[in-house]
Structure 1
Amino acid sequence: MRTVRTLTTTLLTGAALLGAAAPASADSPTPSGSASAGAGAGPTRAGTGFRDAAFFRQGQEATASASTGAYLYWVFPADTGQRPTVRATVTLPDAALRHGSSTWRVDVYDGLRRRQPCMYGMQSRTAAKDAATVELSCTLRTVRPWAETWDEDPLPGSYFVRLTATGLPEEDLGQSFTARIGAVSAEKGGAYAADGALAAPLVPGATTEDESEADTAKPSAVEARSPEDGWSSGWWSDRWIWTAVGGVLGALAGIGGYTLTRGSGRPSRVPPAV
């Protein structure tokens, strides 16, 4: 009985360690890059294409004023293990000046300019003639550290956001509007880890030589477009915690099984004959 109690206590202790490690791989209730992290104010303009997209980091809010019919572009970094959500709020022109409803759409492209599908969210929405604002959102798939060249999984690097009106009366073209753009990520951890890593994040204009340059007077394109705390190395994930805890539990179970087997195999002591 003492052996059984010892084994039970050991396994319960290991289970407690496993439970303590579990939150590391669970969905983070507080998205990374939140505005409260002190990321600072974002840009007050937007680009007109991929080349001049306005850069902002997750947690910042980018704003811009433009005319209906124009394409607005921003770019932000997303790292391994993050699941970014892009949100856009468009303040529409005065309802008295509009002639009908309008449809707005937000699209997200990765560093290779591949359009990334939204897992969920209202990517396109039609605003009534008297609506004051319209809100859009797009939640991407989790960013992976590595993928095959033929795969279109999201990878670490720059992500471009494009906002435009896809449908509105011709008489409403050219009216002014304002837009607010932001992005935050939920940390997904080792559940989406892969055995590999990119040589460098997918940042347009960057090369692997930029990463190895010793001159720090001028930051490389990769460094200039990095998240606030820099790019992750790609080798660490909370899978290491699960592996270590699983190894400890396996060792404890083996010791307990050996102890039980050894105890049950001993011959019972027979009292001497009188």
Structure 2
Amino acid sequence: MRTTDVFTSVLLTGALAGAVFAGAAGAASADSPTPSDTSTAATGDDGSAAPTEAGTSFRTATAFRPGQRPTADASTGDYLYWMFPVDVGQRATVTAEVTFPDSSARKSSSTWQVDVYDGLRRRQPCVYGAQTRAVAGGAGTVELRCTLRTVRAWAEPWSNDPLPGSYYIRLTAVDAQEQDLGLPMKAAIGVRTSGEGGAHAVGGKLAAPLTPGVADDEAATAPEDGWSSGRWSDRWLWTVGGGVLGALAAIAGYTLARPSRRRVASPPPPAQY
């Protein structure tokens, strides 16, 4: 076979491998979590109604799933708690909107804060968003936002990395004046999750997600498709695909670099006398 024919064959094989690899990576990406807009959703993807109340402690936190928009009627000064699941490779953005039905009754400014805790009740930092916001007296609404770090499959014992499992939301006014305590308010919570892909995948996994039984509906503490901790991520596809393409490139380079072998002409037969 000529060098050009070998090189052409290698290129065609590489193109075919790349197409297969791209298709597999696309399938893996399709399996990964996708962003879900929760700005106006009142029900979950399964048609379940969003909760209309909140808990008053970690043990009584109201469970819901991303894609729902739970609400609660309460009083200024109350501590409100909700709980939602976050899986491996997901980044959650929590939004909170507080509305004051009788804003004219509020005489002084106050500061509102939304905190997020993991299943071990460790407060998780917000990498983006306004977690704390002051609102002037007489204002009708205040909005808060907190974007968490991407959840990992496991973490070192000394670290504070977010782990898969249940996450808690706590909403309250941190410095409300005495004359404003007890005034009615309405809270609306939203959670949007997005899959960050295999760049955040690691080799280990938890034996079980951090899902303590604190909700009456245990099914609400897990994602609709179940927990995926430890499953193969698209990082494996990129690794295998890179190895295949590297091998093909090595074969093509060797084929082009090796010296060509010239065929030596056979000597003529001896003359017959």
Question: TM over 0.5, yes or no?
Answer: yes
Aligned with 1:235 (options 231, 235, 242): 231
Distance in 2 (alpha carbons) for counterparts of 1:227 and 1:235: 15
Q: Which residue of structure 1 aligns with residue 161 of structure 2?
A: 153
Aligned with 2:256 (options 244, 256, 260): 260
Contact 2:114 2:171 (8 Å CA) reproduced: yes
Q: Which residue of structure 2 aligns with residue 180 of structure 1?
A: 188
Shift, 1:182, TM fit: 1.5
- Specify the structure having the higher radius of gyration (Cα): 2
Q: 1:245 to 1:32 in 2, by over 3 A?
A: farther
Q: Which residue of structure 2 aligns with residue 248 of structure 1?
A: 244
Aligned with 1:124 (options 129, 132, 145): 132
Q: What does residue range 91-240 of structure 1 map to in structure 2 within 5 Å?
A: 91-205=99-213, 225-240=221-236
Distance in 1 (alpha carbons) for counterparts of 2:47 and 2:232: 24
Shift, 1:68, TM fit: 0.3
Contact 1:39 1:228 (8 Å CA) reproduced: no
SS in 2 for 1:61: coil
Q: 1:226 to 1:29 in 2, by over 3 A?
A: closer
1:81 maps onto 2:93 in alignment: no
Aligned with 1:31 (options 17, 31, 35): 35
Bigger drift between 154-163 and 240-249 goes to 240-249
Q: Which residue of structure 1 aligns with residue 271 of structure 2?
A: none
Normalising to structure 2: TM-score of the pair? 0.83
Shift, 1:95, TM fit: 2.3
* Residue segments in structure 1 that go unaligned for 5+ positions in a row: 207-218
Q: What does residue range 6-17 of structure 1 map to in structure 2 within 5 Å?
A: 6-15=9-18
Shift, 1:190, TM fit: 1.2
Distance in 2 (alpha carbons) for counterparts of 1:86 and 1:49: 18
SS in 1 for 2:157: coil
SS in 2 for 1:114: coil
Shift, 1:66, TM fit: 0.6
CA RMSD of aligned residues (A): 2.9
Contact 1:102 1:168 (8 Å CA) reproduced: yes
1:53 maps onto 2:49 in alignment: no
Contact 1:93 1:175 (8 Å CA) reproduced: no
SS in 1 for 2:55: coil
Distance in 2 (alpha carbons) for counterparts of 1:157 and 1:151: 16
Task: Give the letter aligned to residue 136 of structure 1.
Answer: L
Shift, 1:166, TM fit: 1.2
Contact 1:68 1:172 (8 Å CA) reproduced: yes
Aligned with 1:70 (options 71, 75, 78): 78
Shift, 1:129, TM fit: 2.3
Q: Deviations over 1:142-165 (max 9, x none)?
A: 010111111110001110000001
* Residue segments in structure 2 that go unaligned for 5+ positions in a row: 269-273
Percent identical pairs in the alignment equals 58
SS in 2 for 1:89: strand
Distance in 2 (alpha carbons) for counterparts of 1:33 and 1:149: 34
Q: 1:162 to 1:39 in 2, by over 3 A?
A: farther
